[in-house]
A and B are shown apart, each in its own frame.
Chain A
Amino acid sequence: MKFSYNWICELVEGVQVSPKELGHLITMKTAECEAVEPFGEHLAKVCAARVVEAEPIPGTRNKKVLVNTGRYGLKTVVCGAPNCRPGMTSAYVPAGVALPGGEIRCLEISGVVSDGMLASGAELGVNRDAEGILELLAEPGEPIPGCRPDWVLEIDNKSITHRPDLWGHLGLAREVAAILRLPLRDPVRLDWLPEAAADLEIEILNDELCPRYSALTFEMVSVQSSPLWLAYRLETIGLNPINNIVDVTNYIMAELAQPMHAFDRDTLRGNTIFVRTAAPGEFLVALNGETYKLDPATVVIADARGPVAIGGVIGGLDTGIVAGTRRIVLESANFHASSIRKTSGRLKLRTDASMRFEKGQDPANTVRGLARAIELFQEISPGIRLSGGLADAKRELPPPPRIALELDWMERKLGREVAREQVVEILRALAFGVEEESPRRLLVSVPSWRATRDVSIKDDLVEEVGRMVGYDSITPQAPLIPSAPPPANELRTFHHAVREMLAAQGFTEVYNYSFVSEETARRFGFDPAEHVAVLNPIASDQGLLRKSLVPGIWKNLLDNSRHFDSFRLFEIGYEIHKRPGELPDEIDHLAAAVYEREGDGRPGLFELKRLAECLMPGCEVRPASARPFEHPARSWELRWRECALGRLFELHPTLAAGRAAVLDVDLRKMRELGPPPKRYQPLRRFPSSAFDLSVVAGLRDLAGDIEKRLVELAGENLESIRFLRQYSGPPLPEGKQSLTWRLSVFAADHTLTAEEVGAIRARLIDGLRAAGYDLRL
């Protein structure tokens, strides 16, 4: 939202601060001022000039013109404007001045050196008229009337969404007046409103959606260009001047935050304006040329025949102001904020009007806008006159309840003291009514333009006082609170510990999106229907929520394999699983991967197995049937403490060139199982004895199974067991391997004799043979 510094200065008496300083003060006390930029700087050098002579240059449409510029003396310029003639007064731009379209230089045109130029309104950026040079009522050398250099203060729209009043200059001016402790000048004089009976009926059929609709009828209207001051002001704040009638409505909107709309009275059927919701099948061709289908949630302004405007959003084309318009109905209404917000969202049409109404405008403001319009029309449409009085339909709204403000409570909230007199002064400057009920308690009434949704409770008043005394006046202070350790967050501690371990072992942490595309889900053999679907994705890769971390890791593997031959990475993230009727189940998982472009892939899998053992001491892997994205012969289930916790596998070779080992663990289960209980075992007191055993087994017999069997057989005599080597080849038969372990056995109460050791060994051998294994002795 753009604000004119000059305009604010007209509304606040005696502003002495510079535009930049004002921008800063507004930022600190009201709303964020994002930029303060000069506007129309060149107008300081442009002046009125009288055409003394204008002689056509043969063979061209240009004239060689001698002008009296007053300030700069007599100048010769070349001018091609059709309206250029001796005796007229226009605008002279000296050479060296930068206009919005570029810098003006001394140029030879049609054989004549033009020392500066005579300019049109469009060239000066004061209106959109490019037909001819400006025609002014001014003496040579004087500034262009109504077009002083200005500054634009740009206020961040997001910082005023809660302040309907700040969508007009008067609202911001009130803030400035309060900040600078200067008087505010209200431009509205309600005594302009006519006393006569209205010659237009208004019927509001839904006063929830339209609490108030006020209108005036004017006749003897002459539609023409706006005067320079008006067009220039609209240009300054980024609005497009159109014609005097429309410009006045826009001007009042920018001044009072009250959107208005003018209908051509002679195109309206009947004598009644209806405010109602649209009937099924109704549509409107709007001023922007678009046709809008209306639905029953949309508020329309209708005449006897049908909709003529979408209430609070846009007017209709058929009833708009045109050059020949003689009579107008000027609408100044109030609409329900969220209804406008929804309508404008539904129609994908945000207008200056809808933007204001959706903030919750003040119903009291409708007639203020009309009063202001009467005054302005007198000036910009000479001869205009009112036809009848004010038509004003409204729902009576009770005044907002007064707010009790305990000053002690307010000071506790702010963390500083504020003198009662200062509180009262601040609130009154912001137009709050203040009654001092007791020395430390005020009764505050809220001005109508702040009461729509912005201010309703005492906390809101804390803000009013706080921002005006200045938050920088509050000294930071540590609270006095009991000291106690905060409740632990085991999830967080656990995740951080896992992360630390992974990073220490050479893995780099990645973050992947929570989204997965349908295509990727399919590629991994997941059913898209089992995912939580996003209803309004922007891109196709956001269609589903991931229920596995592996597709993300897969993408990381592909991307990084373009830059590295070997790498390790991991992610801790949430699998999102659908649960009908409640929020999805979010399960924290760890996915880690080792990539090697070369090699047989075993080291990566073993590395991840070791990693799993660091996280889950004593965990084991069991063969598993491969999922579609897993190497069919290298897919293992990870088990710990009798529970399946995840997978350890090589990515299917069709998914990645090279070898990618992946570990995927359910951290929630791991956390729930917790670390195994620890119990001290007394240290061995008698020496142990060691011997080796070589077991002959089938090539796909699992070493883990044999080792488990050995441990069982050795029972309480086992001190330790260590795998030594695996061998296949002669003299072993084809299809056989030999696996060798070193076992160390002991007894708790004596040194084992050679016979006892032999007996244990024999027990192991017999047991293995019974299980179908052979031994190499």
Chain B
Amino acid sequence: MATATAKTVQIKIKRQDAPAGNPHWEEYELPWRAGMNVISSLMEIAATGQTKDGHETSAITYDANCLEEVCGSCAMVINGKVRMACSALIDKLDQPITVEPLKKFPVVRDLRVDRSVLFENLKRVKAWVPLDGTYDLGEGPRQSMTLQEELYPISRCISCCSCMEACPQFNDDTNFVGAATIAQVKLFNSHPTGESLKRERLDALMGDGGIHECGYAQNCVEVCPKEIQLTKAISEVSRDVMVQAVGDLFRK
């Protein structure tokens, strides 16, 4: 709960000027207003350009776009846990609020990190529906209502990388692919057209850093802002990978 004393908001932000720069904390104080969230607070800090003790400071770099938890760009470590900054309401956070960049991704500057590893991973598992685009294929195959209901939530992934940030297995020793990519494999493998690349996707997940690195800590499913059933996706894709691996012993 916000401390009502003098109606201010105390925020500590971990800043860093360059990818190799020295991380350091800066403190800010803002007048409290109803409905504030972490992004709106960052905007106010940019407007005043001052730290708590009145020093002038540079603008804080961060990613944010939609401000309604659909673009996925604003994931940050807030009060020690990864979450979307735009939906992190100030009134629901203990103060002083600490805001840090994601810890498992290279910092570009301040709160902005480079999350291209997820894009790379999605490419490596071919997370798309293959279409050659040279002629009109007409309508796609129909999906049953049940299938739609199962897949729609997974299609809501916003590539925020929270699941990877919170995963103990996602680090530079394992170079684990992470839950989001595995869930997308399930999505595209279950799609009537996307299915044609199923073998290749499952093969990719058997490579180093693949699905087997998951240790079922289940943090991913706890932090996913879109409440995607990530552990279910991991178990199901895991079974498909296993079935294919065992089958290949006899086929190849």
To the question of whether A and B form a pair in one complex, the answer is no
Q: Which residues of B contact A (CB under 8 A)?
A: none
Q: Which residues of A contact B (CB under 8 A)?
A: none
